[in-house]
């Protein structure tokens, strides 16, 4: 948790500066948070998803290549993020490929031009002052002929919940909408 304290200090300084526009502060903060989470869970930034509530839908803040994607209806039963947001319960599944879930976003080309399927996932709701604001998901993706990485453990889900609770207020502070 020592590393998260350094990130929080960096985010505090970023939020309070007038050197950058609101959009620049938002982009920098989300990028730093995604990099931190990817590192904390031994993955890549493209395996981190941050979604934010916009009325009756969730929109992607990260990964940046999904920021312009169609929003997910909070009422929809198929998107895992919508279920996490709606019921407020965290999620862990190491056999996601065998579960019915929304795969539409898995076929969007990533920065390297490749699309990879999600095999494993953990997710937690972002709550600030008792209000559900969004969802953070960490996945293990796999492309053809590669391994999807180690299983997520309950302790990692617990860590994601704690990190989400600590970082949520800083995300809220930089959201430009």
pLDDT in tens, 92-131: 999 887 665 444 444 445 566 666 678 889 999 999 999 9
Q: What is the pLDDT of residue 144?
A: 60
DSSP reduced 3-state for 64: helix
Higher pLDDT, 28 or 66: 28
**What CA–CA distance (Å, rounded) separates 116 from 110?**
8
Assess if CATH 3.30.450.40 describes domain 2-174. Answer: yes
Provide the residue ranges of all domains of the chain, joining segments of one domain with +: 2-174
Residue 155: pLDDT band (50, 70, 90) is: very high
pLDDT tens digits along 3-60: 999 999 999 999 998 899 999 999 999 999 999 999 999 988 989 999 999 999 999 9
Whether the predicted model's global pTM rises above the 0.75 cut: yes
Contacts 24+ apart (CB under 8 A), 26-33: 26/174, 26/175, 26/176, 29/170, 29/171, 29/174, 30/61, 30/62, 30/64, 30/171, 30/174, 31/62, 31/64, 32/7, 33/7, 33/62, 33/167, 33/170, 33/171
Helix (H, G, I), strand (E, B) or coil at 61: strand
């Amino acid at each position: 948790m020592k590393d998260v304290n350094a990130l929080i200090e960096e985010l505090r300084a970023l939020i309070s500066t007038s050197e950058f526009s609101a959009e620049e502060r938002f982009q920098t903060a989300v990028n730093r948070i995604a990099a931190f989470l990817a590192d904390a869970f031994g993955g890549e930034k493209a395996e981190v998803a941050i979604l934010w509530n916009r009325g009756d839908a969730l929109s992607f803040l990260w990964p940046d290549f999904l920021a312009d994607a169609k929003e997910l209806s909070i009422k929809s039963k198929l998107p895992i993020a919508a279920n996490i947001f709606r019921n407020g319960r965290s999620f862990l599944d190491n056999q996601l490929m065998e579960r019915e879930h929304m795969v539409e976003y898995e076929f969007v080309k990533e920065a390297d031009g490749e699309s990879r399927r999600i095999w494993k996932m953990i997710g937690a709701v972002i709550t600030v002052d008792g209000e559900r604001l969004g969802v953070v998901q960490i996945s293990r993706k796999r492309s053809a002929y590669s391994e999807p990485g180690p299983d997520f453990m309950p302790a990692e889900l617990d860590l994601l919940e704690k990190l989400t609770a600590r970082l949520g207020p800083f995300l809220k502070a930089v959201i430009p909408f």
